[in-house]
Amino acid sequence: MTTHHPLLGVQPPFADHLGLRILSAQPDRIEAEMLASPQLINRNGTLHGGAVMGMADHLGGLGAFMNIGPTESTATVESKTNFFRAIPAGDLLHGVAVLLHGGRQTMVWQTTLTRSDGKMAAMVTQTQIVLRDPKF
């Protein structure tokens, strides 16, 4: 079941550039997919690691935004990526971000990224800080 949230209707330009498509979004779980398209491939012919990390960062950030108030914002303050397998060009990468910790000042999200063959390609754990200063 997808939660209707204003942030889900329009993605930022970076997410559009990645070709990221949100499949479902709940306050504790975000699911998306992204094609390993030609503009995201590295010199080895596989999906660039930065694109993998960008997808995971976007999912965790979106999840964090779904859990803060209308005058608050959020930013990634820490991110760790483990790469397990390359993602071939043309493959469809699937990502699921789950909320591990939802505190008043920080949130921790873990995103599991799998290839179309079902094998885990990467796991990203990130910490989001809740910003209450209106200038953010």
Q: Which amino acid is at 129?
A: I
Q: Which pTM was predicted?
A: 0.92
Ordered by start, the domain boundaries in the chain are: 12-131
pLDDT for res 98: 98
Largest CA distance in the chain: 44
Q: DSSP labels for 21-43?
A: EEEEEETTEEEEEEE--GGGB-T
Question: CATH number of the domain at 12-131, out of 3.40.50.12240, 3.30.1360.30, 3.40.50.2300, 3.10.129.10?
Answer: 3.10.129.10
Give me the chain's average pLDDT, please. Answer: 93
Q: Binning pLDDT at 50, 70 and 90, where does residue 133 land?
A: confident
pLDDT for res 10: 76
Task: Dig out the tokens for 88 from the structure.
Answer: 């071939």
> Is the C-alpha dihedral spanning 29, 9, 16, 116 positive or negative?
positive
